[in-house]
Amino acid sequence: MMNKYIKILDTRVKEIISLLRATIFDSVFIQIKNMGISKMGSIVLLMKSNPFLYKKYIFLTGKFRPQNFPTEKTDLVVAGHERSGNTFVKKTLRVLYPHIEIANQTHSIASLKIAERYNLNVLVTIRDPKESIPSSIIRHIARGKSFESSKFYIREYVYYYEYILRNSDKYLLLDFNILKDDTPKLFAQISQYCDLKYEKKAVLEASGIVVQEIKSRKNNYGSEDIGKYGWNDERKDDLKKEILEKIENEKVFGDAIRVYNALQKIMTEIRKS
């Protein structure tokens, strides 16, 4: 029955897309086409950038969770492309500040637009695509996708962070490198931005709890073989290197590096100011 509804949705979405292409979303399609994304990939990116379409889509696929989207009652939104440390930040914040309402990330532009609508505080984690994209591809291969189809996530990285770049003044941009090398410093930035109490000792304790939770996961990627590789496992690092070698010469990966460098420049200038 669910497959029937998904097929109906796919037909309806295609009808909607054909109408939108000639109207206000025409420029979006030109941008996506220039990125070399397939028709289905274009539909996915468009849906993930439109709150109405994306909510309807994940509802009909059985993945809708109200807590994943910001509302007027949300205090804080933690966003970022997948495998960029946003789950770690979110979990640590929930240990530190259990009283605040934090929306789960959907890794979508749609969630960012909803947050902007309610004028919410938004944190966006940003990680080098040389690290985050191979990690993302490993995850999706483990879930049954082919390597070729998983390369879609390179294009999604570019599309997502180009939107962040155009609207960077609306968010607090968080450097994954600082999260990794000096966690208290990053949470000091967050506490100042969100007007929250900050104690270095509390951050170290909270982040330690989350690190142990992550390390204890038995199936971090969702499969018996790749999934058993733990946090910072050398075998996972070897896989990431192999994947990076396969994708680093592709034009769209060069676009990912370009967007990341532009965001790094903004974050560096903010830290200096």
Q: Are 215 and 209 in contact (CB under 8 A)?
A: no
On whether both 57 and 149 belong to a single domain, the answer is no
Q: What is the pTM of this model?
A: 0.80
Q: Could you read off the pLDDT of 15-51 as tens digits, one per residue?
A: 554 444 444 444 444 444 444 455 667 777 888 888 8
End position of a domain, from candidates 16, 42, 64: 64
Q: Is the pLDDT of residue 224 over 50?
A: no
What per-residue confidence (pLDDT) applies to 64? 66
Find the domain containing 52 and state its range. Answer: 1-64
What per-residue confidence (pLDDT) applies to 105? 75
Average pLDDT over residues 98-113: 90
Query: Which percentage of the chain shows pLDDT scores above 90?
Result: 50
What per-residue confidence (pLDDT) applies to 35? 46
Q: Is the pLDDT of residue 143 over 90?
A: no
On whether both 125 and 177 belong to a single domain, the answer is yes
End position of a domain, from candidates 49, 64, 79: 64
Average pLDDT over residues 193-205: 96
On whether both 98 and 182 belong to a single domain, the answer is yes
Q: Average pLDDT of the chain?
A: 81
What per-residue confidence (pLDDT) applies to 15? 52
On whether both 5 and 103 belong to a single domain, the answer is no
3-state secondary structure 40-97: HHHHHHHHHCCHHHHHHHHHHCCCCCHHHCCCCCCCEEEEECCCCCHHHHHHHHHHHC
For the chain, the domain total comes to: 2
Q: Is the pLDDT of residue 67 over 80?
A: no
CA distance 140 to 151: 10
